[in-house]
């Protein structure tokens, strides 16, 4: 059974701080890793994907992947109240069409 674990939160950070969201996965064969943002009542929106060890930066977002530790994280710099949402981590194995989703972490950025 492939598992993706996320702390449900809520994670509360002040505006302007760095928000750090974490995700662990059980399948060592996993090759692709995704972060989605889901606002309340809306569908998930892909914000980052990564498939090589290390960091990948896109604007205020940085995805970090450590395959040896089976750990992927998302850093949000200069957090804004508009970043308040649930963040879903998804992991996909090689040769698979189906990602496994975590339950998500609720992020609250307070002014």
Partner 1 sequence: SQTIHQWPATLVQPVGSPLSLECTVEGTSNPNLYWYRQAAGRGLQLLFYSVGIGQISSEVPQNLSASRPQDRQFILSSKKLLLSDSGFYLCAWTPIQRYAYEQYFGPGTRLTVT
Q: What whole-number distance in Å separates Cα of residue 16 and Cα of residue 111?
A: 9
Nearest alpha-carbon partner for 70 in 107, 18, 33, 21: 33
Stretch that binds partner 1, among 18-26, 54-62, 73-81, 88-96 (CB under 8 A): 88-96
Closest distance between partner 1 and the C-beta of residue 109, in Å?
Answer: 21
Task: Please tell me whether residue 49 binds partner 1 under the rule CB under 8 A.
Answer: yes
Task: Please tell me whether residue 5 binds partner 1 under the rule CB under 8 A.
Answer: no
**Interacting residue with partner 1 among 19, 25, 44, 85 (CB under 8 A):** 44
């Amino acid at each position: 059974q492939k598992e993706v674990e996320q702390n449900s939160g809520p994670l509360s950070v002040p505006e302007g701080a760095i928000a750090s969201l974490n995700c662990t996965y059980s399948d060592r064969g996993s090759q692709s890793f995704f972060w989605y943002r889901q606002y309340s009542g809306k569908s998930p929106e892909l914000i980052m994907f990564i498939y090589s060890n290390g960091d990948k930066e896109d604007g205020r977002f940085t995805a970090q992947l450590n395959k040896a530790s089976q750990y992927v994280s998302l850093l949000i710099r200069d957090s804004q109240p508009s970043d308040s949402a649930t963040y879903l981590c998804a992991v996909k194995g090689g040769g698979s069409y189906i990602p496994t989703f975590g339950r998500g972490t609720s992020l609250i950025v307070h002014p």
